[in-house]
Structure 1
């Protein structure tokens, strides 16, 4: 659970079944200013959510902190926490997917990346190596304006779709974020905000790069599984290993007699 020094009262995690995913750090990478990058393991067809917690007494220059959520380089959804909400207690919001309307939700889900092996390049693939495989949450300081008269409705989305191997340029990316079929949810309110002093620049950013366990090993984010030591070097052997060692010795003696 990473905490950004720029806003130490904020914690953001990726959750599955309500539990945060284990986070990994790429020690050799350079961090951008006010940015924290973590890796998490993605499993195919796994529904996930983003949990944002703002601690009691977290200072804000404006009325609220706005959290914009980008998946695979595209703005997906967002939320905000007001300064009055954290005066006496911490506040947690869960972003489970993209809202199509005030009462309709498409949940986030990890999907195995479907690759095309020919040399065709698909639409809008130039930016894929940088943006694909990442969930980015930006934090900005805003003032509240008014509630919206209506909720801007969105079209349903299925995710990235097929990607060419050529576009990935050797990146060890295994998954993309897809969206489940639309489902009903409790009605959500829409509120207009504006950046404090007109400064739309985020004050902090959290990036989660999601990969399969195999891809995490390929990128040396987690150590590769070491090869087991030879049987003759092990201090203790199971019965099956004893039989295997005896078989190897018989084969060796037979080879020497030839």
Structure 2
């Protein structure tokens, strides 16, 4: 959970906070900013969660939360001072999607992580170049918290005051691989299924401060990218880990793998033994046949060779067996 000046913000999946990892390159001296890495899974809906204690020292009309996805998709909400005064505990809000307001009424489109599609010659939604600032904004969720003054009357419905400048993406980003080469960017954000919701109340406002009270930045990446960036350690195979560090579940999995290897090895031994027995039987049959052919009949002529061998001698048998052995091994 990221906390700045008692203001809390998290990214959640299925109502649970995603695990956060510190950014080793972030400026730790600025207490008004915080940067965290989180893991993104493709086609996974997510929400934003905000909490502020009711005794937060707010010396303005409202506290406003302006959040941006990938530097493009924008939305905001605010808590008026009266809300803090009437609340008995922490103020909390879960942002489930992007607001849409048209003839069909008010509704939300859920936020979703989507894998960036890389290509060289594709044409659909293809970006062939991005500015350095656009590249820095990709795969990020940024929320800036401001104190604001309310300068007009409330409007029911219509969404947040800055929504009109943003168009929600409905298709995964497609970009040339060379544009993001070496950046470790793997996902973008698009809007998914529609969610029923009640119309929002909005007020025209003006910022009290030039700089935000708090700035939350979440850099979302795939598990592989986080490992490549050394944000999380690379997974070590169970077989290579210290057995004292394994959990019960990991120990059972390691035992299952070892048993599988042993069964496979035993099956190979049985197969080799069967092949060896078959070869021995073939050799014995060959010797028997050669022995019968080697016996001269009453009308056979025996020819003496220069090296002292005779026709049908063991030399002929060895050559035949050698050829038989080669043919048998070729079957394996």
**TM class, shorter-length:** 0.7 to 0.9
Structure with more of its chain in helix, by fraction:
2
SS in 2 for 1:125: coil
Deviations 1:34-76 (A, max 9, x none): 1100111111111111011111201112111100010001242
**Counterpart residue number, 2:24:** 27
Pair 1:206 & 2:213 matched: no
Kindly report which structure 2 residues correspond to 1:166-177, keeping only aligned pairs within 5 A, or say none.
Answer: 166-177=178-189
1:159: Cα distance to partner? Answer: 5.5
Structure with more of its chain in strand, by fraction:
1
1:169: Cα distance to partner? Answer: 3.4
TM-score, reference length from structure 2: 0.64
Q: How far apart in 2 are the matches of 1:106 and 1:129?
A: 25
SS in 2 for 1:215: helix
Pair 1:131 & 2:134 matched: no
1:166: Cα distance to partner? Answer: 1.8
Pair 1:179 & 2:182 matched: no
Q: How far apart in 1 are the matches of 2:156 and 2:54?
A: 31
Kindly report which structure 2 residues correspond to 1:228-243, keeping only aligned pairs within 5 A, or say none.
Answer: 228=238, 238-240=258-260
Kindly report which structure 2 residues correspond to 1:41-190, keeping only aligned pairs within 5 A, or say none.
Answer: 41-87=39-85, 88-101=88-101, 103-118=106-121, 122=127, 125-126=130-131, 127-145=133-151, 146-148=153-155, 151=158, 154=164, 156-158=168-170, 161-190=173-202
Aligned length: 242
Name the CA shift for 1:149/1:25 in 2 (closer, same or farther; >3 Å). closer
Q: Which has the higher contact order (CA 8 A, sep 6+)?
A: 1
1:177: Cα distance to partner? Answer: 0.5
Name the CA shift for 1:32/1:134 in 2 (closer, same or farther; >3 Å). farther
Q: How far apart in 1 are the matches of 2:260 and 2:129?
A: 55
CA contact (8 A) 1:54 1:81 kept: no
TM-score, reference length from structure 1: 0.81
Give the root-mean-square deviation of aligned CA atoms. Answer: 3.2
CA contact (8 A) 2:157 2:199 kept: no
Deviations 1:63-98 (A, max 9, x none): 111000100012421111222322342111121222
Larger Rg: 2
Name the CA shift for 1:144/1:169 in 2 (closer, same or farther; >3 Å). same
